Amino acid sequence: MKQLKKSAKLANVLYDVRGPIVDAARQMEEDGQKIIKLNIGNMAPFGFDAPEEIQQDMIRNLPDSAGYSDSKGIFAARKAVMHYTQQQGIEGVTLDDIYLGNGASELIVMATNALLDDGDELLVPMPDYPLWTAAVSLSGGKPVHYLCEEDKGWLPSLADIRAKITPRTRGIVVINPNNPTGVLYPDDLLRGMVAIAREHNLVLLVDEVYDKVLYDDAKHTAMASLSTDVLTITFNSLSKAYRSCGYRAGWMIVSGPKGDATDYIEGLNMLANLKLGSNVPGQWAIQTALGGYQSIKDLVKPGGRLRRQRDLAYELITAIPGVSCVKPEAALYMFPKLDPVMYPIADDREFFMQVLRETRVMLVQGSGFNFPDNQHFRIVFLPHEEDLREAINRIAKFLERYRARFA
Ligand SMILES: Cc1ncc(COP(=O)(O)O)c(C=O)c1O
């Protein structure tokens, strides 16, 4: 048979977080080597357990979970999400505006599929969480990357967003708190983005899966609470704040002037019906999670495990000569920079493959987040302090050898 080819729509799809570097690490593990994995925000393998209350409620509801649910999800969970929007100051959300899905991921792909015609453009941050660029491409759209500026604390450049709007632009993707930079956006900036969307009649697609993973008393503002006159689709899930990514329990909220978007909303409903609902046991977890004890606060407060690991990772990584980093205020990641004079790198994918081979530490290079300068990487600070220390010490030694050879 002739070689079976993948579709051209996959040409822009990057998934290095789970891609070739993970295959190489797996091969090394099969050869008996132990790898420290700093490549993915998967919390459970690092001992961050889902709250027991959530597990118990899922178990109790399992006998009622064998049938398909309503396409948009079970009532109790959507009601809990509706109450959550009220706590966040988002106006006018009804049960009908809430869709449950197998994680935020599935809903992100659904929302872009319903929105984009071939060649339509969506503004996506750079660096990005690569699912967004992939979802736009798979939907037949064109991802257009707007710059987040490192010297301004990785905040999106409003000027760059404006400069990249064309007659084909349909919307702006906002990831706040951000993956991979760990940055939280101030209200002024969010208002600036809302103003641009208003002026150009664009949809806001807002990914807030880290909205409760906040350090140093940082406060997150739900963008939809500021964009009451702009159609806004907000995505969230239990994956991070409730350490439950395996339950695949996410939600999407439509807010703003819905009357102007009835056709788009019909498209969302069609796609929700096509997928026949999402994982029902995971849906049962949502009400308990949102209404129960918020144990994430214990992890992020001073002395909490995530906070300690963030501080340690930041301190050790920025102590390496020629490594700079914006300190994350949120999420589970940092996006440090390697000085290009001290560390000339022609191909960052090859460079971090070499890091893996020599140090047995797996990281993802900046180009995996659609950031093309070859000088960045993302570090996940989920391992216990001892493992983080070991991993970053190995990286520091690797970089010392690299400096000696190439600088
Ligand atoms: C910014 C961002 N959005 C969405 C997701 C996917 O989340 P979910 O597990 O809800 O599909 C992730 C996962 O890491 C993420 O970092």
* Atom from ligand 1 closest to the CA of residue 102: 11
Q: What is the DSSP letter of 292?
A: S
In whole angstroms, give the CA distance from residue 366 to residue 29.
Answer: 24
Question: Is pLDDT above 70 for 100?
Answer: yes
Buried b (16+ CB within 10 A) or exposed e, 177-194: bbbbbbbbbeeebbebbb
Residue nearest to atom 14 of ligand 1 (CA): 41
Contact 129 CB / ligand 1 (< 6 Å): yes
| Residue 407 confidence (pLDDT) | 66
> Is residue 175 lining ligand 1, measured as CB closer than 6 Å?
yes
State the average pLDDT for the chain.
95
- Cα separation, 218 vs 178, in Å, equals 13
Query: Is ligand 1 within 6 A of the CB of residue 369?
Result: no
Is 100 a pocket residue for ligand 1 (Cβ < 6 Å)? Answer: no
Q: pTM of the prediction?
A: 0.96
Please give the average per-residue pLDDT across 25-39, as a whole number: 93
Question: Stretch 257-276: mean pLDDT, rounded?
Answer: 96
- The DSSP annotation for 92-158 comes to S--GGGEEEESHHHHHHHHHHHHHPPTT-EEEEEES--THHHHHHHHTT-EEEEEEEEGGGTTEE-H
pLDDT at 56: 94
Separation of CA 105 and ligand 1 centre (Å):
6
Give the Å distance between the CA of 7 and the centre of ligand 1.
Answer: 24
**Distance between CA atoms of 338 and 407, rounded to whole angstroms?**
12
Written as one string, the DSSP assignment of 200-260 is: HT-EEEEE-TTTT-B-TT-----GGGT-TTS-EEEEEESTTTTS-GGG--EEEEEES-GGG
Question: Which of 131, 136, 184, 220, when mutated, tests ligand 1's pocket best, judged by the most ligand atoms within 8 Å of its CB?
Answer: 131
Query: Looking at the predicted structure, is the pLDDT value of residue 110 above 80?
Result: yes
Spatial separation of the C-alpha atoms in residues 215 and 80, rounded to whole Å = 25
Per-residue pLDDT of 132-169, as tens digits, reads 999 999 999 999 999 999 999 999 999 999 999 999 99
pLDDT number for residue 109: 97
Which among 107, 126, 185, 209 is the best mutation to test ligand 1's pocket, defined by most ligand atoms within 8 Å of the CB?
209
**Ligand 1 center to 173 CA (angstroms):** 14
C-alpha span between 333 and 123 (Å, rounded): 22
The pLDDT value recorded for residue 262 is 97
SS3 295: coil
Check pocket membership of 41 for ligand 1, CB cut-off 6 A.
Answer: yes
